[in-house]
Copies of this chain bind each other. A is one copy, B any other.
Amino acid sequence: MTAPEAEAPPATRGGDWPDSAFLRQLAAVIRAEDSYGSWEGKSDAELLADFILTAEERRAMPIISDPDPDVMWRLEKFYDAIGLMLERETGCMAGQMSKFNHEGWGRVVLIAGRLVVLSKHLRDVHRFGFETFQKLAEAGETLAADAAATVARFPEAAQA
């Protein structure tokens, strides 16, 4: 539609990089898998680039498709980072469980002790992604705050 030179340069994909404890935690979770140090030269923004899914990209995705293992991996890292944020804030270690069907519908939970600190029903999981780094940061921080509030509400169950 527009001339190629009108395309936004790749550096601005995902927008500005906000100062966010969640984004730092998520990048650290991903760096922890870098056994061979091949990502050492990469910035956090580069490591999290695949979490960005613009409106155009979303529209271009096929409606019918099995969730990609890479998407499931990113989803897992996203909730791992929330679990670690929670642990830093409350001292409660939370483990993740999820259940998805082949159409990408399902549920992910974080469990600390006997407490489900976070429960999220998801659909269209093969389109898991965020328009901007700002939205990714907000999503993670909101979920981590909700999980901490749930721990505060049921502290005995979280420690059981």
Contacts and interface: CB of A to CB of B under 8 A. Distances in A.
Interface of A: 97-99, 107, 109, 111, 113-116, 119, 150, 153-154, 156-157, 160
Nearest to A114: B116
Contacts of A107: 97
A47 B107 CA distance: 31
Contacts of A98: 97, 99
Given A97-B98, A114-B154, A154-B160, 19 more contacts: A97-B97, A97-B99, A97-B107, A97-B109, A98-B99, A109-B111, A111-B119, A114-B116, A114-B119, A114-B150, A114-B157, A115-B115, A115-B157, A116-B116, A153-B160, A154-B154, A154-B156, A154-B157, A157-B157
Q: In the complex this chain forms, how many copies of it are found?
A: 2
Contacts of A154: 114, 154, 156-157, 160
26 contacts: A97-B97, A97-B98, A97-B99, A97-B107, A97-B109, A98-B99, A109-B111, A111-B116, A111-B119, A113-B116, A114-B115, A114-B116, A114-B119, A114-B150, A114-B154, A114-B157, A115-B115, A115-B116, A115-B157, A116-B116, A153-B160, A154-B154, A154-B156, A154-B157, A154-B160, A157-B157
A120 B99 CA distance: 17
A59 to B, nearest CB: 32
A36 B32 CA distance: 51
